[in-house]
Amino acid sequence: MRTLAIGDIHGCLEPLKNLWKTIDPKPEDRIIFMGDYVDRGPECKGVIDYLIELQQQDLNITFLSGNHEEKFFLSEMDLTDRDHWLRVWGGPETLDSYGPGGFDDIPASHWEFLRKCRPYLETDSHIFVHANLEHDVPIDQQLPFTIIHKKFGEPKAHMSGKVMVCGHTAQKSHVPANLGHAICIDTDVGRGGYLTCLHVETGEYWQTNFDGDLRQDKI
């Protein structure tokens, strides 16, 4: 069994498809998507469609929720949030991918999928979370802001002794950041970088980008 963590996708469907073919998950594998499925990239609707298709297969997949999913929800409900989302967060790419009707063209199945995404996943050895953890707070008592908004920085080891795996903070080097007790796998595919999948047990990782390049290395 492999534990495979996949970083922030940001509407980048082709890198996701190429990465999925490369890792070729099996039913005995555990796959964790780290959140931030929408914004910036050109095929946000296509990404959600693809993830829903994967969800229907005989695979062990967990979908985490990120700050861009939160902003997407808020923008549907509040015009102030919508203006900020469209100006700053990459919202136009998301709306454009759904068609000329904007929010009216977003299917209910997409909202349902995003609502069911989890805040974190804890295993015997790791904690998977979109953004970060407070080192001295139990996982079930973490503030939502920390889980989906706090930047990576130089986090201290969590009190549980488990390794944190996260996304959210784009690594401009386009390689994962590894502190031993904390690993960030957002390698900025939405702004010209790579999409990363980390094999948690071995530290091996695979990366794809819009040019069709495939990279493989070890943290």
Residues identified as active-site: 68
Query: Is residue 99 exposed (0-12), middle (13-18) or buried (19+ Cβ within 10 Å)?
Result: exposed
Cα-to-chain-centroid distance, residue 109 = 19
Token representation of residue 160: 């549980």
Cα-to-chain-centroid distance, residue 81 = 21
Task: List the 120-122 sheet strands across, edge first.
Answer: 120-122, 126-129, 163-166, 182-184, 177-178
Residue (of 148, 108, 101, 156) closest to 128 by Cα position: 148
CA distance 184 to 34: 10
